[in-house]
């Protein structure tokens, strides 16, 4: 059920689900965690319930933001518990990252190929979850989120720990000129992460660009855990939108007990 777990601290439960051992029927088979697809809602809720039971935190203590490929985040607290867990209409809207000081509050972001980034700052009792595809990367959500944690939440960069979950990797993430043009608005050079294939196609290293954002905030490289797993390459383990347009979503989640 939890395909990849992040073992960062005894009081932290975090990781990424796979696609197996759930209730959803094809093409969402079987551990689809997303309510916004054309999947049977009750099956999705049963899938979410399996994970909630497994980590012993009820869905009434989960927060699922409604992701829109933005560069916005939200600090959540006790009053947000349960939002988006049982119905999408209650999700915090228009944010692609959430964070909290609260204990026993699970932060979850859904994804198929986009990067799930989980964060922990033990000295400030903070956890966070970011969802970023190419649009969020070009908008530098990771950069802006870390700046907020460091300047507003007073996190020491040396005490921020980061997990990059299963996501599409550069050998499978091929983009056209419109995406390359969008990188021109970024405030640092991303050319080292773009590999031309031919006149129309370029390989884009999303993980590399986001890690570069982390390093420019002086996060130590040894604090960054990258699973190095490609969702596109493993059809029996992960959902991938680029591989199968009609498919489910896994989630990456974090909670401090």
Q: Domain limits at 137?
A: 2-169+221-256
Model pTM? 0.97
Domain assignment present for residue 106? The answer is: yes
CATH code where residue 73 lies: 3.60.140.10
* Digit-coded pLDDT (tens) for 69-118: 999 999 999 999 999 999 999 999 999 999 999 999 999 999 999 999 99
At 26, is the secondary structure helix, strand, or coil? coil
Domain assignment present for residue 204? The answer is: no
Domain assignment present for residue 126? The answer is: yes
Query: 106 with 63: CB under 8 angstroms?
Result: yes
Domain assignment present for residue 144? The answer is: yes
Domain assignment present for residue 154? The answer is: yes
Q: Please list the ranges in the chain whose pLDDT falls under 50.
A: none
- Write the CB contacts of 168 (distance below 8 Å, at least 6 apart in sequence): 113, 114, 206, 230, 231, 232, 240, 242
Domain assignment present for residue 104? The answer is: yes
Overall domain count for the chain: 1
At 206, is the secondary structure helix, strand, or coil? helix
* Token pair of 49 as six digits: 């319930």
């Amino acid at each position: 059920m939890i395909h990849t777990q992040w073992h960062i601290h005894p009081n932290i439960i975090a990781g990424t689900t796979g696609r197996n051992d759930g209730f959803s029927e094809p093409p969402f088979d079987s551990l689809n965690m997303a309510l916004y697809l054309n999947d049977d809602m009750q099956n999705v809720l049963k899938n979410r319930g399996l994970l909630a039971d497994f980590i012993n935190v009820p869905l009434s203590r989960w927060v699922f933001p409604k992701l829109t490929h933005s560069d916005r985040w939200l600090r959540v607290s006790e009053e947000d518990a349960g939002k988006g867990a049982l119905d999408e209409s209650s999700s915090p809207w228009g944010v692609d990252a959430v964070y909290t000081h609260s204990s026993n509050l699970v932060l979850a972001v859904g994804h198929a190929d986009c990067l799930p980034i989980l964060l922990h700052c033990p000295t400030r009792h903070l956890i966070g979850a970011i969802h970023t595809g190419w649009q969020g990367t070009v908008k530098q959500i990771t950069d802006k989120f870390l700046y907020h944690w460091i300047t507003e939440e007073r996190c020491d960069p040396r005490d921020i720990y980061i997990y990059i979950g299963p996501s599409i990797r550069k050998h499978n993430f091929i983009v056209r000129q419109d995406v390359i043009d969008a990188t021109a608005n970024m405030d640092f050079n991303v050319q080292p992460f773009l590999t031309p294939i031919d006149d129309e196609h370029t390989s884009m290293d999303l993980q590399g660009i986001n890690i570069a954002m982390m390093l420019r905030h002086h996060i130590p490289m040894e604090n960054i855990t990258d699973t190095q797993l490609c969702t596109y390459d493993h059809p029996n383990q992960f959902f991938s939108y680029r591989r199968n347009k009609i498919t489910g979503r896994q989630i990456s989640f974090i909670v401090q007990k």
